[in-house]
Amino acid sequence: MVNQDRIHFGCAPIAWTNDDMPELGEKNSFEQCISEMALAQYTGTEIGNKYPKEPDVLKRYLEPRNLQVASAWFSSYLTTKPIDETIESFIEHRDFLHQMGAKVIVVSEQGHSIQKVDTPLFEEKPIFTDDEWDKLTHGLNTLGDLANEKGMNVVFHHHMGTGVQTTEEIDRLMQNTDPQKVFLLYDTGHLFLSGENLEDIYFKYQERIKHIHFKDIRGNIAKDVKENKDSFLTGVKKGVFTVPGDGAIDFKPIMKAIFESDYRGWIVVEAEQDPAKANPFEYAVKAKKYMDDIIPSGNPV
């Protein structure tokens, strides 16, 4: 563990088994996933669909492997459904994560999202109306209040194929939400694939960044996805995402910025790939070694 009191490294299960495309990693078990994470020297995990839903049961699997729950994805539909529906499911999700000791709740707005449908990723990206923006930002403030009741924070996940993807959209979300209630999840892969400036966004919002996803992009495949007007999931199957150190992103200045800032929390490797093409354990080890190698000097390992 690096900077034990400040920064922790976790791994997401999506490399072993994909929740959106269950055929990817269908035969990989939950036990294999968490055991290989631990063997690769991660100390945290996010939650996948194969994980036990009962906190006591999940803890019995994680604790012997020295794994903690960093967070878990929550889909909000604040722009398209009555807010009461989102609140009800959010409270259940919040309470589960609270029992697991997580400090942040990952929220992504899925109203009008194209990330799970066969639609060209770059040509058909949803654009919110002013009314939808108001519903989103007011709703997120409400979710932030609910998270704060448990001493937790909402971290919003900008995401390819959604209405909050670009720098302008991230800016609008940040400017129109309460900085004490709504924070930002910083995802290198989604920013890079969207064409945003990773360092600029980190420095601009470092005080509100409470959770980090490290994923890399294979530049040649990203180019192919754009030229062929592929969907998000087709891009995943082609291998557009990979782990840090295996793609086009230079993580050294990003890691330096993180360690020089006051960031406290998780850096989670989250690179959705087809495990039949990219062995999850091998890539988890590759990512951990790369990240350890680029940690700025003077920080204990």
pLDDT tens, residue by residue, 26-49: 999 999 999 999 999 999 999 999
**For the whole model, what pTM was predicted?**
0.96
Give 128-144 pLDDT, tens digit per residue. Answer: 999 999 999 999 999 99
Is the pLDDT assigned to residue 66 strictly greater than 60?
A: yes
- Per the CB < 8 A criterion, the answer to whether 69 and 102 are in contact is yes
Give 49-59 pLDDT, tens digit per residue. Answer: 999 999 999 99
Is the pLDDT assigned to residue 300 strictly greater than 60?
A: no
- Per the CB < 8 A criterion, the answer to whether 36 and 70 are in contact is no
The angle subtended at Cα 77 by Cα 72 and Cα 78, nearest 5°, is: 115
71 bridge partner residues? 46
- Per the CB < 8 A criterion, the answer to whether 164 and 170 are in contact is yes
Burial class (CB in 10 A: 0-12, 13-18, 19+), 141: middle
Domains of the chain in sequence order: 7-294 (3.20.20.150)
- Per the CB < 8 A criterion, the answer to whether 189 and 241 are in contact is yes
Q: What are the residue ranges of helices labelled H in 157-279?
A: 167-175, 188-194, 198-205, 219-227, 232-238, 252-260
Give 184-224 pLDDT, tens digit per residue. Answer: 999 999 999 999 999 999 999 999 999 999 999 999 999 99
